[in-house]
């Protein structure tokens, strides 16, 4: 079946450090891939997405490239801020109904 695996958190960084969150997936067919972010006490917000192999999604300084050969969609940001502290979820969508399957989430804590 389909699955998403994310690196475990928490990931603790200093402000302006480089962030990488690993995400790998298992899926049949050609999934779309997403990164969502969840701030404390809030729902999920779409951060970026990629719908086919080699696509790069980007938003707010975050980037992720859809790598079909390694079945990965790692999230990166070159210089994090305290406001980036949140839980980040990798997700895949495989069916025509738009249903998403999520990873367990990775908590990121950025300290001043």
Partner 1 sequence: DTGVSQDPRHKITKRGQNVTFRCDPISEHNRLYWYRQTLGQGPEFLTYFQNEAQLEKSRLLSDRFSAERPKGSFSTLEIQRTEQGDSAMYLCASSPRARSGNTIYFGEGSWLTVV
28 binds partner 1 (CB under 8 A): no
- Site for partner 1 (CB under 8 A): which residue of 69, 70, 96, 112? 96
- Site for partner 1 (CB under 8 A): which residue of 31, 62, 64, 73? 31
109's enclosing H/E stretch is strand 106-111
**CB of residue 6 vs partner 1: minimum separation in angstroms?**
8
- For residues 61 and 76, the answer to whether their CB atoms sit within 8 Å is no
56 binds partner 1 (CB under 8 A): no
54 binds partner 1 (CB under 8 A): no
Q: Contacts with partner 1 in 59-88 (CB under 8 A)?
A: none
């Amino acid at each position: 079946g389909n699955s998403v695996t994310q690196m475990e958190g928490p990931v603790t960084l200093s402000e302006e450090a480089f962030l990488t969150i690993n995400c790998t997936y298992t899926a049949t067919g050609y999934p779309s891939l997403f990164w969502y972010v969840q701030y404390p006490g809030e729902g999920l917000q779409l951060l970026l997405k990629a719908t086919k192999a080699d696509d790069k999604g980007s938003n707010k300084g975050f980037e992720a490239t859809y790598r079909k050969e390694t079945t990965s969609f790692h999230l990166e940001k070159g210089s994090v801020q305290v406001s980036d502290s949140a839980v980040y979820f990798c997700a895949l969508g495989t069916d025509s109904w738009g249903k998403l399957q999520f990873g367990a989430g990775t908590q990121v804590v950025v300290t001043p």
